[in-house]
Amino acid sequence: MCGICGWIDFDRDLGTPDARRELAVMTATMANRGPDDEGTWIDGPAALGHRRLAIIDIQGGRQPMTHQEDGRPALVLVYTGEAYNYRELRQRLADLGHRFDTSSDTEVVLRAHREWGHRDPRSAVSELNGMFAYALWDTAKRELLLIRDRLGIKPLYYYPTEHGVLFGSEPKAILANSLAERVMDAGGLRRSLCYFADPYSTVFCGMHEVRPGHIVRVTREGIQEVNYWQLTDSGHTDDVPTTVRRVRELLEDIIQRQLIADVPLCTLLSGGLDSSAMTALAARFSDERIRSFALDFVGYTDNFTPGPGRTTPDGPYVRDVAKFVGTDHADITLSADELMDPNVQAATLHARDLPLTMGDLDSSLYLLFRAIRQHSTVALSGEAADELFGGYRFFNDPARVQADMFPWPEISNGIALQSLDPGLVEKLDFPDYLDEQYHGALREVPALTGPASADPHEHRMRQICYLFLTRYLPPLLDRKDRLSMAFGLEVRVPFCDHRLVEYVFGTPWAHKTFDGREKSLLRAATADLLPLSVVQRVKSAYPAIQDRTYDRMLRTRFTALLNDRNVAVAPLLSVDGSRALLNTTDNLEGMEYILALQNFLANYNISIKV
C-alpha cells in the first residue's frame, strides 16, 4: 500500500527545477500513506511520484518502476494496493518468457500490461484480483492510464488541466500543485452533506474520481473513460445448500490469499458475524497466532444504553470470539477527552480531505488505527459484508424498501441543513439532486434473469442490493482507507473480493434470507467456526460513544464558533437556525458537520462559489 501522484503536461518539459519542486511537494503530501520510501520519475511531459509502504518484497519493489525496452523505459508504473493473485500471474508470465527482477506484485502488474494490455489495457487489469489504484505511462504512445479496482477500495483522483492532467491517491496531492484551484461550488457542498457516493463528482471544483472498475486514458487528444468491470446478473441457479458451500469455498480462498504479507498482520474484531467469521478463518489458515484488536470506550459496556441499530455492546462478544478462536487480543479503549482533542479532530479531517464527518465515529476509528499501527502494518476488516449479504435492518423494512428513494435513512445531513442560510439551501436544491442521483443509480442496475425474474419483490431487492454496493459502501471504504493510511496501516477487505461480490450479488434475495434472518448465507457458511453467542447475535452498528461529556464538549465548541462572526463558515450559516441546534437533542451530527466545514474551509484555504 502506498501513495501515488503525478502530472502530465503535453506542452511542457516537466524536468525544469520549478516543475520538479511542484512534484516533490505533491509527493510529500503522501508521506503518511508511504512512510518507508520515496521515488519520482520525470521525462518530458510526464512526472510521476510515489511514497511506499512496504508490504511484500521489502527490499525490492521500489517505485516508480520501469519496464525497459532497447535500454530505455517503455512503461513506467506507480502503484498502490495489492494483487492477491500475483503469484499465479507471475508463474504464467514466467512461462511466457518474462524474467523478473523483484518478487513484488508491482512488477507482476507492470509485466501483465506489457504482455496482455499492449492492445487493450482491460485485458491486463481484468487478470488482477485485489485492491489497487495505479498510473501507467507509455513513453512511446505518450499515454497515461489511471486504473482503479472494481469496488473502489483504493482511492484515485484526477484534475484535468489545459494541457494534461494532475492525479493523486488523495485530493491533497493534487491541491499541492499550483494549477489546481481550491474551490467548492454548490455541487461540492451537496456532496459534503450527503451520505451516498456520487461517482461523477467530488467536493472540489474540477476534480474527479476514477470510478470503480474504470480506466481513464489521458492523451494529447483528451481524456477518455472506459469500464472494465461492472456488476452483472448471473442467472443464479444454485440451490441454498450449494450456495452456502460456494460462499464458504470462496471465503476460505480469499482469506488465505489476503494473509500474504512480509510484515505483521492482525484483524479488526467487533464481535459481529462479519469480523468474527473473518477472524476465525484467518486463525485457521495463518501460520502464526492471529492478533486481533477491538474498539471500546471508557465505561461503555457497563453503562451501555440500547438504541436504534445498537442493541448490544461489542465487548462480551469480542471476548467470546477471542477465546473461542484463540487470538492474541487487545482492546483499544478511548475516552471523550481523546475524541474531542482538537488536534485529533483536525488530523481526522485532514486525513479524509472532506468536511463530511461521522463525528466521534471518525475520530474513534482514527485513534483505533493509530494504536494498531504500533503493532501491525496490515489489518483485515469485515467491511462490505452488510452491503453484500443484506445485514442492515433497512433491507427488511417494508417502508424503506418500497420508498422511491435510497433505502437508508441518513441520505443527507438534514440537521446541518437547518443551520445553513435559507438562500443557500434553496440554491442547493436538494430534492432535485437526490431524485437525480437515485434514479440515475437505478438506471445502472442489471436486469434480473433466471427463476426469480418474475417476482416483483426480487426485482426491487436487486435494486436495493445494487444501491448499497455502489452508493452506500464506497464512502465507507474511502473512510476506512483514509483513516488507516494516515498511519501507513494497510486495511484489507476480504468481503470485497470481486468473485464473492459477483456470486452473492447474483443470488436471489430469498436465498439471502432463507432462515428468516439477516445475512443468512454468511451465517450458515461460517457458523461452525464461531461461538453460539455470535451466531445468534443481531447486528449491532459500529459503536458510538455514550458518554455525555462528549455532548457537552461539542456544544461548548459549537457555541464558541457561533459567537465568532469572523470564522470562514459564518457567511454560509443562518444564525437563528444554528442556535436552534443547541436547543434540540438529536443534533450532534449537525454541529459536527458545521465544525468540520469550518475546519475544512480554513485549513484548506477553500473558496466557496455558489
pLDDT tens-place string over residues 123-133? 999 999 999 99
Sequence length of the chain is 610
Helix then strand then coil, in percent of the chain rounded to 5, is 45, 20, 40
> Alpha-carbon torsion 80, 86, 89, 93, what sign?
positive
The pLDDT value recorded for residue 588 is 79
The pLDDT value recorded for residue 540 is 80
Placement of cell 441543513 in the chain? 417
Q: Give the single-character DSSP code of 290.
A: P
Nearest to 205 by CA among 163, 161, 170, 159: 159
Give the residue, 595 or 280, on which the prediction is more confident: 280
Start-end of H helices in 220-335: 240-258, 273-285, 315-325
pLDDT at 450 over 80: no
Cβ burial, residue 510 (10 Å; 0-12/13-18/19+)? middle
pLDDT band, very low/low/confident/very high, at 234 (cuts 50, 70, 90): confident
pLDDT at 1 over 70: no
**How far is residue 163's CA from residue 221's CA, in Å, rounded to a whole number?**
9
pLDDT band, very low/low/confident/very high, at 278 (cuts 50, 70, 90): very high
Sheet architecture: strand order including 46-52: 37-43, 46-52, 2-9, 164-168, 157-161, 208-209
Start-end of H helices in 40-85: none
Nearby residues of 29 by Cβ (< 8 Å), 6 or more positions away: 3, 5, 168, 170, 172, 173, 176
**Strand pairing class (208-209; 157-161):** antiparallel
The pLDDT value recorded for residue 60 is 78
pLDDT at 503 over 90: yes
Give the residue, 408 or 356, on which the prediction is more confident: 408
pLDDT band, very low/low/confident/very high, at 439 (cuts 50, 70, 90): very high
Contact 130, 79 (CB under 8 A): no
Contact 77, 38 (CB under 8 A): no
pLDDT at 55 over 90: no
pLDDT band, very low/low/confident/very high, at 235 (cuts 50, 70, 90): confident
DSSP string, 101-147: S-S-HHHHHHHHHHHHSSS-HHHHHTT--EEEEEEEEETTTTEEEEE
The pLDDT value recorded for residue 356 is 72
**How far is residue 364's CA from residue 131's CA, in Å, rounded to a whole number?**
25
Contact 386, 274 (CB under 8 A): yes
The pLDDT value recorded for residue 56 is 73
pLDDT at 351 over 90: yes
Lowest-confidence segment of 60-74, 97-111, 135-149, 257-271 by average pLDDT: 60-74
Cβ burial, residue 178 (10 Å; 0-12/13-18/19+)? exposed
pLDDT band, very low/low/confident/very high, at 305 (cuts 50, 70, 90): confident
**How far is residue 340's CA from residue 352's CA, in Å, rounded to a whole number?**
17
**How far is residue 478's CA from residue 133's CA, in Å, rounded to a whole number?**
13
pLDDT at 585 over 70: no
The pLDDT value recorded for residue 416 is 84
How does pLDDT run across 11-24, given as a tens digit for each residue? Answer: 999 999 999 999 99
The DSSP bridge partners found for residue 72 are 69
Lowest-confidence segment of 231-240, 415-424, 460-469, 496-505 by average pLDDT: 415-424
Q: What is the largest CA-CA distance in the chain?
A: 72
Lowest-confidence segment of 77-86, 259-268, 469-478, 545-554 by average pLDDT: 545-554
- DSSP H or E stretch at residue 293: strand 291-297
pLDDT at 94 over 90: yes
Taking all residues of the chain, what is their mean pLDDT, rounded to a whole number?
A: 93
The pLDDT value recorded for residue 413 is 80
Lowest-confidence segment of 23-32, 277-286, 543-552 by average pLDDT: 543-552
What's the N-to-C CA distance of the chain in angstroms? 37
How does pLDDT run across 330-348, given as a tens digit for each residue? Answer: 999 999 889 889 899 889 9
Helix axes 360-372, 473-485, angle to 10 degrees: 50
Cβ burial, residue 437 (10 Å; 0-12/13-18/19+)? buried
pLDDT band, very low/low/confident/very high, at 360 (cuts 50, 70, 90): confident
Percent pLDDT > 70 in the chain is 99
pLDDT at 528 over 80: yes
pLDDT at 486 over 90: yes
How does pLDDT run across 409-435, given as a tens digit for each residue? Answer: 878 887 788 889 999 999 999 899 999
pLDDT at 37 over 90: no
Catalytic residue ranges: 2
